Amino acid sequence: MKMFDVSRITIMRDLKTLQESNLIHKIHGGAKLSDSFAGIEQRFNIRIRINYDLKRQIACKAIEYFNSNGTFFLDSSTTSYIIARELLNHPLKNVTIITNSVPLLNLFAENPQFRVISTGGELDPEYNMLSGIVTSLFLNNVNIDAAFISCGGISVNFNLTTSNPNLADMLRKLIQQTGEINLIADSTKIFKPELINVAKLNKCTRLITDSNLPDPTYQTLLSSGIPIIR
C-alpha cells in the first residue's frame, strides 16, 4: 500500500526514527507531537504574540526594502517571521531568502513561491534557530544583498546587544559580510540592553522600528548617525 507515493514501510520506519528522537509518540492509528517538541512550538507562539502589533508595523515598513531578483537574509526573530508572512502577499519575482530560522523554513515549505536556502548549523531549540561554526562557514561563502536582523536590545551607547553568544557571533558575521543591514527592533528594546555587545548601531544601514518610539528617544537615536524609520 502507498500513501502520498510513499510506501507503508517507509512511513513506519520514519515514525520509528522520529519516536526515537523524542519528537513524536506513536499512538493507535497515528502519532502525536512529543511534549518537548510541542513545547518548542508553544514558546515560539508565545514570543510572537509579545508586542505583535509593533512587530507587524515594522514588518509592513521592512518589506519596502525588498525587491525582485534579490537575495535577502531573514534571521530567527519573530519579527522576521512576520516580515516573511507579509512577503507572501507581494508579487516579487526571483527572490532568494537565506535564513537560520526553523519556523521560517517551515513557513516557506508550505508556501514555495521563493527560493529558500538554509544556513545549516546546530539547532538551538530555545531560539528556534541554527547557529555555530557550520552557519558561520556558510555565511562566509554567500553574497547577500540585504539582511534583516533583530537584537535583544540597544544600549544607551548605541550598541546592539543579545544574551546568546552564538547569535552574537552570527550577527557579527552578517554585519561584516553584508552591505545593507536593516535592524528590525521594536521600541520596547531601545535603551534596554542585554549582556553581550554585538556591534555599534552605526554598523547598520538603518533602524526600522515602530510609531511608539517617543520623540526624545528618536532624536537621541538620530545622533548614532543612521536613519531611523518609525
User: What is the enclosing helix (H) or strand (E) of 75?
Assistant: none
**Res 4: pLDDT:** 43
**Res 12: pLDDT:** 66
**Res 226: pLDDT:** 96
pLDDT of residue 2 exceeding 60, the answer is no
Confidence label for 122 from pLDDT (cuts 50, 70 and 90): very high
* Beta strands per DSSP E along 113-220: 115-118, 122-124, 129-131, 146-149, 153-154, 159-162, 181-184, 196-200, 206-208
**Res 32: pLDDT:** 58
Instruction: Give the list of residues 6+ apart from residue 134 with CB closer than 8 angstroms, or none.
Output: 119, 120, 121, 122
CATH 3.40.50.1360 residue ranges in the chain?
A: 50-229
pLDDT of residue 129 exceeding 80, the answer is yes
pLDDT of residue 208 exceeding 80, the answer is yes
Higher per-residue confidence, 123 vs 42: 123
Confidence label for 1 from pLDDT (cuts 50, 70 and 90): very low
Q: What share of the chain in percent tops pLDDT 90? A: 74
**Mean pLDDT across the stretch 45-53?**
85
**Res 167: pLDDT:** 95
CA 88-213-99 angle, to 5 degrees, is: 30
**What's the chain's average pLDDT?**
88
CA 72-73-79 angle, to 5 degrees, is: 115
Instruction: Read off the pLDDT of residues 186-206 as tens digits, 9 standing for 90 and up.
Output: 999 999 999 999 999 999 999
Cβ atoms of 221 and 190 within 8 Å: the answer is yes
Per DSSP, 204 falls in state: S
**Res 25: pLDDT:** 61
12 vs 8: CA distance, rounded Å: 6
* CATH C-level class of 50-229: alpha beta
Pick from 27-41, 83-97, 153-167: least confident: 27-41
